[in-house]
């Protein structure tokens, strides 16, 4: 029952989140979550030479959701888009020295928002079809709050 007690890393990122804010006219934009459950995360990316040159986020959610957003943006910054697509939900949780079990769904949001932003960019440049970008957003709809 590791409900309470976030790792030091989680608290660091929660208290001093990196890459907070908005990018005007972003190259890619991803938004996932469900405000009914309290989770809503959006990620903005600026792409240069196929790399994530700049990345920003805004999150409505718990301490874990905010820390995860901060961490995933740090992890993605400077990576090529293909590399960033390989960042998994688990990678984010691991980088934060773990999350309490019932908070794992928040870590899902981080990687999902990032992937959604990348796919949004790929759709814009015609690399993938819009249908292929839908996945992340849909994967959270209708999901119970606790999953």
Partner 1 sequence: MCGIYLDYQSASPVDPRVHEFMERYLSCDFGNPSALHSRGLAARAALEEARTKVAELINAEGPENIIFTGGVTEANNLAVRGVAQRNAGIGKKLLASSIEHISVLNPLKGLLKSGYELALVPVDSTGIIDLAQLESLISKETILTSVMYANSDIGTIEPIREVSDMVHERGMYLHVDATAAAGKIPLDVQKEGIDLLTLSSNDLYGPQGAGALYVKPGVRIQPVLFGGGQERGLRAGTENLYAIAGMGEAARLASLEKAIESSRLQAIRDGLIKEILTIEQSYLTGHPTLRLPHHASFRFSRIEGESILLTMDAMFNIQVSTGSACSSRTLEPSHVLLAIGLKHEQAHGSMVMTLGKENNPDQIPAIVNAVRKTVDRLRALSPL
Per the residue annotation, which of 37, 62, 104, 123 is the catalytic one? 37
Among 40, 65, 106, 114, which one carries the catalytic annotation? 106
CB of 61 within 8 A of CB of 39? yes
Least Cβ distance, residue 62 to ligand FES (angstroms): 3
30 is a site residue for partner 1 (CB under 8 A): no
Under rule CB under 8 A, residue 2 binds partner 1: no
Q: Of the two residues 62 and 85, which places its CB atom closer to ligand FES in the complex?
A: 62
Residues 57-96 that bind partner 1 (CB under 8 A): 58-66
3-state SS track over the chain: CCCCCCCHHHHHHHHCCCCECCCCCCCEEEEEEECCCCEEEEEEEEEECCEEEEEEEEEECCHHHHHHHHHHHHHHCCCEHHHHHCCCHHHHHHHCCCCCHHHHHHHHHHHHHHHHHHHHHHHHCCCCCHHHHCHHHHHHCCCCCCC
Binding partner at 20 among ligand FES, partner 1, none, C-beta below 5 to 8 Å by kind: partner 1
Residues in region 104-133 near ligand FES by CB under 6 A: 106
Residue from the set 41, 71, 76, 81 that interacts with partner 1 by CB under 8 A: 41
Residues of this chain that bind ligand FES (CB under 6 A)? 38-39, 61-62, 64-65, 103, 106
Give the residue numbers marked as catalytic. 37, 106
């Amino acid at each position: 029952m590791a409900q309470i007690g976030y790792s030091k890393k989680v608290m660091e990122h929660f208290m001093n989140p990196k890459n907070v804010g908005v990018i005007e006219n972003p190259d890619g934009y991803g938004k996932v979550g469900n405000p009914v459950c309290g989770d809503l995360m959006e990620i903005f990316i600026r792409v240069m030479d196929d790399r994530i040159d700049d990345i920003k986020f805004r999150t409505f959610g718990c301490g874990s959701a905010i820390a995860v957003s901060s961490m995933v943006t740090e992890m993605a910054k400077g990576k090529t888009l293909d590399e960033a697509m390989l960042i998994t939900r688990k990678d984010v949780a691991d980088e934060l020295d773990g999350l309490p079990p019932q908070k794992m769904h928040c870590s899902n949001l981080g990687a999902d928002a990032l992937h959604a932003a990348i796919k949004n960019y790929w759709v814009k440049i015609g690399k993938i079809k819009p249908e292929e970008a839908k996945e992340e957003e849909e994967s959270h709809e209708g999901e119970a709050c606790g999953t």
